[in-house]
Structure formats: C-alpha cells, structure tokens
Amino acid sequence: MSVEFDAMHSEYKQLEMELGTEVKPSFRRKHVSKMRDIKVGIKRLDKLMNSLLNVQTAFKIMISEIPTIDGVVLALGASPLRPKHIYVLNFSHESGVSKVDDDFARSKAADTLSRKAIRTLISKDAGSVTYPGTYSLFFFFLVDKH
C-alpha cells in the first residue's frame, strides 16, 4: 500500500511540473482535473493507512494490558446486533507456556487479527456506494472472570 501511496505522490509532483511549463488552457484543465483526482486518492489512502495503524495499535494495547483475555470477536456491519461478518480469535491459557512465548503469541495474534479486519474492510468496500448503509467495526474482548 505504501508503494501505491508513493507512486501517487510522484505522479502528482510530475503533473505539477508539467502544468507549470504548459500554456494551453485545455491541457491545463486536463492536468488540473488529474491532479485533483490524485489528491483525493492520496487523502483517502492516507486516511486508510492512519486507520489501519490505529487498529493495530489498539489490538496490541488491549492484548498486552489484559493478561486474562480469552479471545477477541470482531464484528463488521451496520450494528453489533446484526453484523455482516464476524471473526473470532481465541487464546489458550496453557500453564507450560513461558511469559516471553505468550507475549510473542499475543502480539502475533493481534497482528493477524488486525490484518484480517483490514483485508475484510478493503475487500468488502466498506463505506462504498454499493452498500446503502455504513459499515462499522466493533471489537469485543472476551475476558475470564477469575
């Protein structure tokens, strides 16, 4: 995704340089229109990348802060009562696992779950005009009562 982001930035800079040398009004209008489209794409990708970073950070913080977490339920849809998609990740609490291994497993699980959420959002065109409503992402953390 960062490659696409960098490509858009370089294309925008190239169009900016070409625009400065051209004097034909029709050419300038065409370039300004392309630049506007690229700028909108850059803003969308930037917003998506920031959202993805926030999701990953939230997962890592929650999983590291709550030692008795049993699992995570990710619900994607208009409402948590009637979600379109549900992902569940359960953690085992074996006594033979060292603290370092458990931390690594939890960190890896957080990365995996956040990637699943991200892929689903992208593949299902969350927030696109094809779906009449909005998609929301709901996280439910299952914690042991003991």
**Which whole number is the average pLDDT over 56-61?**
76
Whether residues 54 and 116 fall in one domain: no
Its domain, for residue 38, covers 1-65
Choose the final residue of a domain: 37, 65, 93.
65
Length of the chain measured in residues = 146
**Domain count of the chain?**
2
Q: Name the 3-class secondary structure at 90.
A: strand
Confidence grade of residue 94 (pLDDT, cut at 50, 70, 90): low
Q: Using one digit for the tens of pLDDT, what is the confidence trace for 103-121?
A: 666 667 667 766 766 666 6
CB 31 within 8 A of CB 19: yes
Q: Specify the DSSP class assigned to residue 126.
A: T
| Whether residue 52 sits in one domain with residue 122 | no
Domain boundary among 48, 65, 82: 65
Q: What's the pLDDT at 127? A: 47
- Report DSSP state, residue 112: H
54 and 71 in a single domain? The answer is: no
- Identify the pLDDT of residue 129: 46
Which is more confidently placed, 31 or 1?
A: 31
Same domain for 34 and 84? no
Pair 74, 41 in one domain: no
Q: Are residues 52 and 93 in the same domain?
A: no
Map tokens 């696992």 to a residue: 97
Q: What integer pLDDT is reported at residue 52 of this predicted model?
A: 72
